Chains A and B, each alone.
Chain A
Amino acid sequence: MQSYWEMQEHFDVIPMDRQAYVEEVMDHYKNPRGKGKLEHADFCAKDENPLCGDEISICAKVKAGKLQEIKFDGHGCAICIASSSMLMEKATGMKMEKALKIKREDVLSNFGEISPVRTKCALLSLKVLKLGICSFLGKKAPLE
């Protein structure tokens, strides 16, 4: 009879996250776009990742239903900061309704393969942006 341990597939340590730290990601992390304070914002939202204590706030100025200017602030790991920076680039000038339709996959695709724990880091800024837009529009925020 096979022992319990023999029945298990041999599993090696898989270098999963490494692919997340590609050049483009590192560039956004080291030179984040749209990071800082935004004066006279029309809305601000903030949330944190309870697992690691990462915290991101996003403020935006709105004009004609569009995110005219948008900035993020806070602290987090490379994945969290890079993804916030990428989101600022992507969402600037975007219609709020359209920004609400940005999908998880759109964000995650920037990182190649990423472990389930780290997806929370990558998705924090998107969550905060949607929270902010929803409260500004008086809509119910999406669950996740």
Chain B
Amino acid sequence: MAVKINPKRIRKDFPIFSRERKLAYLDNAATTQKPKCVIDAEKNFYGSTNANVHRGLYKISERATEMYEKAHEKTAEFVGAGGMQEIIFTRNATESLNVVAGSIGKTLKAGDEVVLTLMEHHSNIVPWQQLQRKGVKLRYVGFGKDGKLDYNEFEQCIGKNTKVVSFVHASNVLGSINDAKKICKIAHENGAIAVVDGAQSVPHMEVDVKKMDCDFLAFSAHKMLGPMGIGILYGKEEALLKMEPFLYGGDMIKSVGKFEASWNTLPWKFEAGTPNVAGAIGFSAAIGYLENIGMQNVRKHEEEITEYALRKLSEIGGLEIYGSRNAQDRLGVISFNVEGLHPHDVAALLDEEGIAIRAGHACAQPLLAQLGVNAVCRASFYVYNTKEEVDRLCKAIGKCKSILM
């Protein structure tokens, strides 16, 4: 059973909100704010345990290594992975997807196909586009006015040449939550690998890689209260064992000769060079913070606030909301346009009221092209957002109209 959370109490844990008292931060799909425990964890590492990992034979290095590996374990538990060997730390979700596309890409041949959806963030399009040079073909599954993927189209797009199906779990524009389990199943039935972009879903709902049965899951720490500079790639152990490394250098090797090298064990085979240890420890603290709240409760809170926002926003004349009107189908991400107003102007004028939203193409130009727009306004919520902030947003949009129209 989900428990009601108190965003006003949660706000007290975030130093930025005691500084920026007027701030209604509604750009959580871009990045989230950080609680004090995360800031402290990162700061304390540098102040007390700073040393390189997997190298030093002295106490602080051993301690740093232990903490760094613990962060992998904690992440593995959080998404239901088999263990630390299945969790690779990268810089961000984009890099995680590049690791998959780059490494799997080495094995793809001309005529092989990669299936994507029209809902993808650029980070799950551009790395795959690069494989076209090898003759790999990209195919796209579309979505309807209700923001739902056309699942029948998957059956049509996926065939014997399909090697990879890579798709977004939850859209950063429409908020739509896709049926990842179903898509992974279709992919596997056709002998393809299933790659899930969980950058928006993992921070906001319970995600279990075993239940979903994906081969890869990419997400980002900074979108879930963690530090910037830490991305995560979950990979099934058997898939990672078969895969070639993506980046080469120190720490990812077992031994190096003049003309050849052999690879380290998992996950280190995919973590070349000195990693972001402090970031990983900060991320560990963020997971702890979210676990204390409970992911079910996070989801419940956001569903409530999204339902409220959908209702309030649709009362504004000339405002069009993209995607589903049902809060249960979507995350707390709402993209909209106000007739006659450019999103950039809306965002700039909202900023004056202390309201931070995103305006632009949200790194999803093919999606926006499908919607037939060049830019959108986007408000996105998290655990510290309140209904009062939604009211402020709606009032400020009214003000924008009076200034610009």
Contacting residue for B352 out of A17, A53, A55, CB 8 A? A17
Task: Check if A21 sits within 8 Å of B349, measured CB to CB.
Answer: yes
Task: Check if A10 sits within 8 Å of B19, measured CB to CB.
Answer: yes
Query: For the complex, is B359 an interface residue (Cβ under 8 Å from A)?
Result: yes
Query: For the complex, is A100 an interface residue (Cβ under 8 Å from B)?
Result: no
Contacting residue for B345 out of A8, A53, A55, A77, CB 8 A? A77
How many A residues touch B, CB cutoff 8 Å? 29
Task: Check if B342 sits within 8 Å of A13, measured CB to CB.
Answer: no
Most chain A CB within 10 A, of B39, B342, B352, B374, is at B342
Query: For the complex, is A51 an interface residue (Cβ under 8 Å from B)?
Result: yes
* Chain B contacts with A in 350-405, Cβ cutoff 8 A: 351-352, 354, 359-361, 365, 368, 374-375, 403-404
Contacting residue for A5 out of B19, B23, B344, CB 8 A? B19
Query: For the complex, is B343 an interface residue (Cβ under 8 Å from A)?
Result: yes
Contacting residue for A11 out of B15, B19, B404, CB 8 A? B19
Total contacts A-B at CB 8 Å: 72
Query: For the complex, is B9 an interface residue (Cβ under 8 Å from A)?
Result: no
Q: Tell whether A118 pairs with B365 under 8 Å between CB atoms, given A13-B22, A52-B343, A78-B404.
A: no
* Chain B contacts with A in 128-186, Cβ cutoff 8 A: none
Task: Check if B360 sits within 8 Å of A5, measured CB to CB.
Answer: no
B-side interface size class: 20 to 34
Chain B residues near A77: list those with CB within 8 A.
342-345, 348
Query: For the complex, is B43 an interface residue (Cβ under 8 Å from A)?
Result: yes
Chain A residues near B352: list those with CB within 8 A.
13, 15, 17-18
Task: Check if A53 sits within 8 Å of B374, measured CB to CB.
Answer: yes
A109 to chain B, nearest CB (A): 19
Task: Check if B19 sits within 8 Å of A8, measured CB to CB.
Answer: yes
B368 to chain A, nearest CB (A): 7
Contacting residue for B368 out of A13, A29, A53, CB 8 A? A53
Query: For the complex, is B238 an interface residue (Cβ under 8 Å from A)?
Result: no
Name A's B-contacting residues (CB within 8 A). Answer: 4-5, 8, 10-13, 15-18, 20-21, 26, 29, 51-55, 75-80, 115, 118, 121
Closest 7 CB pairs of A and B: A77-B344, A77-B342, A17-B348, A53-B374, A52-B360, A15-B352, A13-B354
